[in-house]
Amino acid sequence: MQYDVVVVGAGPVGATAARYAALNGASVLLIEEHTSVGSPVGCTGLLSTRAISECDVKPTNDIVLNLVRGAHVYSPNGNCLPIDGGKTKAYVVSRKMFDRKLVTMAVDAGVDVSIKTRAIGLNRTKRLQELLVLQNGVPNTITANVIIGADGVRSNIAKMAGLGNVQKVLSGIQIEAPYTSNDADFVELFMGSQAPGFFGWTVPVSETISRIGLAVPTGNESHAIQYLNILLNSNKEIFERCYGGVLDIVYGGIPLGPQSKTVADGVLIVGDAAGQVKPTSGGGVYTGAACAKIAGEVAASSAIEEDASVNRLNEYDKRWRAKLGRELNLGMKIHEFIGGLSDNDLDELLGSMNTPAILDLITEYGDMDRPSILMKKMLSPTNSWQMMNVFWAFAKAVL
């Protein structure tokens, strides 16, 4: 088998990269180790309206389960900061159906797909790459000009290409369970020591079912389970409305902080494999899809030019960093800052934001994909007087 481009991993990012490579004239194979696209699910499925449109998907009823317009952010002391976006800001989706839609779109663009095909080895040169796979358990070799590693948080392609590691991996765990929502238009976020270093969440699938989870920066799954048990049994908001029964369990790693190198001779990595995830929320579909389009375009043109050298592929690294690098770096700083606050600091910080003027600013400029827009507005001289209390809480927290 010989292709211009082979994409490893049929998640949303791999499917998008494969589609874009095909749309740019390359012959493309997309391989997936599992026997089924979109399964097992490792995601809450909360996608901003921008994420869905970045993937070129229409929010149809087969994919979208619920609409979300804001968040109720709970301080460790139980006080609630109500953030109302005023209109639909995000969709709760079936990731299985969403991933399948993206792979179907790739097939429509001319991509060949091979499931139950696992990449196990790689021999690289500046022109042709040999990808060793187990296809239905049988060893095979696929030749390609360019390999795109979209193989998720524990990317083997990144390792085989000698690329480094993401800066940090969080352990995420979530159940889907019967849960009486106060308002199914709002997600709930729980800050502080109940999910230290990140946050806990409930995301309503409907008025009576929610996805309830958290992530903690340990890389230790059993640690995350312990925290989830505490959240379910000790958090007053959740305990009173989660009345037993688990419909589904999801767990997975969330990579934060992009790789310092995302290209090597013959290889580029994208999505979770490259750490292209928003550090403030752990969401990787929007950022991954935006980078996947660039990866697909650059892989196709490099393959057609028969130049898969790291210098040629570096165009991808430069372009995705120009588009999202600043936002991800700022997000990482916000993540580290919030993660370092004590429960008291968080109570004070969130309490100081609970004023009509600041909530109006958040409604107008809050953007779950680009926190820098709100940060800039909050720090502008015309608004900074409203921020005095917040600054005070920040200052006290860092002193």
Ligand X SMILES: Cc1cc2nc3c(=O)[nH]c(=O)nc-3n(C[C@H](O)[C@H](O)[C@H](O)COP(=O)(O)OP(=O)(O)OC[C@H]3O[C@@H](n4cnc5c(N)ncnc54)[C@H](O)[C@@H]3O)c2cc1C
Cβ-closest position to ligand X: 284
Q: Segment 186-245, which members bind ligand X (CB under 6 A)?
A: 213
Q: Segment 27-46, which members bind ligand X (CB under 6 A)?
A: 31-34, 42-46
| Residue 26 within binding range of ligand X, rule CB under 6 A | no
Edge to edge, the sheet with strand 64-68 lists 46-48, 90-93, 64-68
Task: Identify which of residues 121 and 340 has a Cβ nearer to ligand X in the complex.
Answer: 121
| Residue 11 within binding range of ligand X, rule CB under 6 A | yes
Work out which of 5, 6, 13, 187 binds ligand X, going by CB under 6 A. 13
Task: Identify which of residues 84 and 369 has a Cβ nearer to ligand X in the complex.
Answer: 369
Task: Identify which of residues 103 and 353 has a Cβ nearer to ligand X in the complex.
Answer: 103
Dist. CA 241–CA 78, nearest whole Å = 15
Task: Identify which of residues 34 and 261 has a Cβ nearer to ligand X in the complex.
Answer: 34
Choose among 295, 289, 336, 341: nearest CA to 315. Answer: 295
Work out which of 271, 279, 296, 366 binds ligand X, going by CB under 6 A. 271
Interface stretch with ligand X, choices 81-89, 137-145, 271-279, 371-379 (CB under 6 A): 271-279
Task: Please state the closest distance from residue 112 (CB atom) to ligand X, in A.
Answer: 14
| Residue 296 within binding range of ligand X, rule CB under 6 A | no
Task: Please state the closest distance from residue 348 (CB atom) to ligand X, in A.
Answer: 28
Work out which of 217, 279, 282, 331 binds ligand X, going by CB under 6 A. 282
Q: Do the Cβ atoms of 68 and 89 come closer than 8 Å?
A: yes
Task: Please state the closest distance from residue 59 (CB atom) to ligand X, in A.
Answer: 14
Work out which of 5, 68, 106, 285 binds ligand X, going by CB under 6 A. 285
| Residue 258 within binding range of ligand X, rule CB under 6 A | no
In the stretch 146-185, what mask flags binding to ligand X with x, by CB under 6 A? ----xxx---x---------------x-x-----------
| Residue 119 within binding range of ligand X, rule CB under 6 A | yes
Task: Please state the closest distance from residue 226 (CB atom) to ligand X, in A.
Answer: 16
Q: How would you write the chain as a 3-class SS string?
A: CEEEEEEECCCHHHHHHHHHHHHCCCCEEEECCCCCCCCCCCCCCEEEHHHHHHCCCCCCCCCEEEEECEEEEECCCCCEEEEECCCCCEEEECHHHHHHHHHHHHHHCCCEEECCEEEEEEECCCCCEEEEEEECCEEEEEEEEEEEECCCCCCHHHHHCCCCCCCEEEEEEEEEEECCCCCCCEEEEECCCCCCCCCEEEEECCCCEEEEEEEECCCCHHHHHHHHHHHHHHCHHHHHHCCCCCCEEEEEEEEECCCCCCEECCEEECHHHHCCCCCCCCCCHHHHHHHHHHHHHHHHHHHHCCCCCHHHHHHHHHHHHHHHHHHHHHHHHHHHHHHCCCHHHHHHHHHHHCCHHHHHHHHHHCCCCCHHHHHHHHHCCCCCCCCHHHHHHHHHHHC
Task: Please state the closest distance from residue 276 (CB atom) to ligand X, in A.
Answer: 8
Task: Identify which of residues 271 and 279 has a Cβ nearer to ligand X in the complex.
Answer: 271
Task: Identify which of residues 166 and 362 has a Cβ nearer to ligand X in the complex.
Answer: 166
Task: Please state the closest distance from residue 392 (CB atom) to ligand X, in A.
Answer: 33
Positions touching ligand X (CB under 6 A) are 8-14, 31-34, 42-47, 118-119, 150-152, 156, 172, 174, 213, 250, 252, 254, 271-272, 277, 282-285, 288
